């Protein structure tokens, strides 16, 4: 079975500072990995995805993520955070041959002025 | 491409009542998914359809829950005899064809409050 751990429940970052959100997954083979963002009261918007190939993937809104097989991680990064990035971020995994996404519990990002 | 839409956006009901939610997927997407998200948690998979066929159901989907996609387009999720524990955000997603590199796109969700 697949599982995802997001160890940070809340993170506060100053506007303009860099950001890294952690995600660790558990799956026996190479997984498909996703990061979604959810603004208050809203659905989920896809930021980026990894299926294969280059382990550094670029997404929307200036986000990127790096797949590290040896660490079973898929951390999300952004070099300079904007106040509008304040939201909840979810990492998700989908196993090969499976359809359902398995989500982590999310990390709430707060951006301070 | 108008995105995934869900109706209603909010529903307040009393315990024991039945409720029904609707999801309209992105046109030409033949996969449709339902997830449930409770406060402070990530979404949890409930069920999915390929066209009109319901192919997988989670153990979370008790016998009070039923989902349909009668013509392979929109889907409905009905909860009978609602309980306070059913209070959650119900999210719908769709994807094109279920291939390995398929991506699920989510709607805005229906927030259910059971009093």
Given a contact cutoff of 8 angstroms between Cβ atoms, the answer to whether A74 and A91 are in contact is yes
Give the pLDDT of residue B54. Answer: 93
Calpha distance A70→A68 (Å, rounded): 6
Chain A interface includes B109 (CB < 8 A): yes
At residue A50 the predicted structure's pLDDT band, cuts being 50, 70 and 90, is very high
Mutate to test the interface with A, among B11, B104, B108 (most CBs of A within 10 A): B104
* pLDDT above 60 (res B21): yes
Contacts of B33 in chain A (CB under 8 A): 99-101
| pLDDT tens digits for range B61-78 | 889 999 999 988 999 999
Contacts of A32 in chain B (CB under 8 A): 100-101
CB contacts, 8 Å: B39 with chain A? none
Q: Residue A97 pLDDT more than 80?
A: no
Specify the pLDDT at position B107. Answer: 95
A95 vs A44 pLDDT, higher one: A44
Enter the tokens of residue A87.
């939201």
Q: What percent of chain A has pLDDT over 90?
A: 81
Least confidently predicted of A11-25, A71-85, A87-101: A87-101
What residues contact residue B12 under an 8 Å CB cut-off, 6+ apart?
B112, B113, B115
In the predicted structure, residue B1 carries a pLDDT above the cut 80: no
CB-nearest to B42 from A45, A46, A90 is: A90
Q: What is the pLDDT of residues B24-63, one digit of tens each?
A: 999 989 999 999 999 989 999 999 999 999 999 998 888 9
Measured between alpha carbons, how far is residue B27 from residues A13, B23, B97 in Å? 39, 12, 12
- How much is the pLDDT for B95? 94
């Amino acid at each position: 079975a697949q599982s995802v751990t997001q160890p940070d429940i809340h993170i506060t970052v100053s506007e303009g500072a860099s950001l890294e959100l952690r995600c660790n997954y558990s799956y026996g083979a190479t997984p498909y990995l996703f990061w979604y963002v959810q603004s208050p009261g809203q659905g989920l918007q896809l930021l980026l995805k990894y299926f294969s190939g280059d382990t550094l993937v670029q997404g929307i809104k200036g986000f990127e993520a790096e797949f590290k097989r040896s660490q079973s991680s898929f951390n999300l990064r952004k070099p300079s955070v904007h106040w509008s990035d304040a939201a909840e971020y979810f990492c998700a995994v989908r196993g090969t041959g499976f359809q359902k996404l398995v989500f982590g519990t999310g990390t709430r990002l707060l951006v301070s002025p | 491409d108008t995105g995934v839409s869900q109706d209603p956006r909010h529903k307040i009901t009393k315990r024991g009542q039945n409720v029904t939610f609707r999801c309209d997927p992105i046109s030409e997407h033949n996969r449709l998914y339902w997830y449930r998200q409770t406060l402070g948690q990530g979404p949890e998979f409930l069920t999915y359809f390929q066209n009109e066929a319901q192919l997988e159901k989670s153990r979370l989907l008790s016998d009070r829950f039923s989902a349909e996609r009668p013509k392979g387009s929109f889907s409905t999720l009905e909860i009978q005899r609602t309980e306070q524990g059913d209070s959650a955000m119900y999210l719908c997603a769709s994807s094109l064809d279920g291939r390995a590199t398929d991506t699920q796109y989510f709607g805005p969700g229906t927030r259910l409050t059971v009093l």
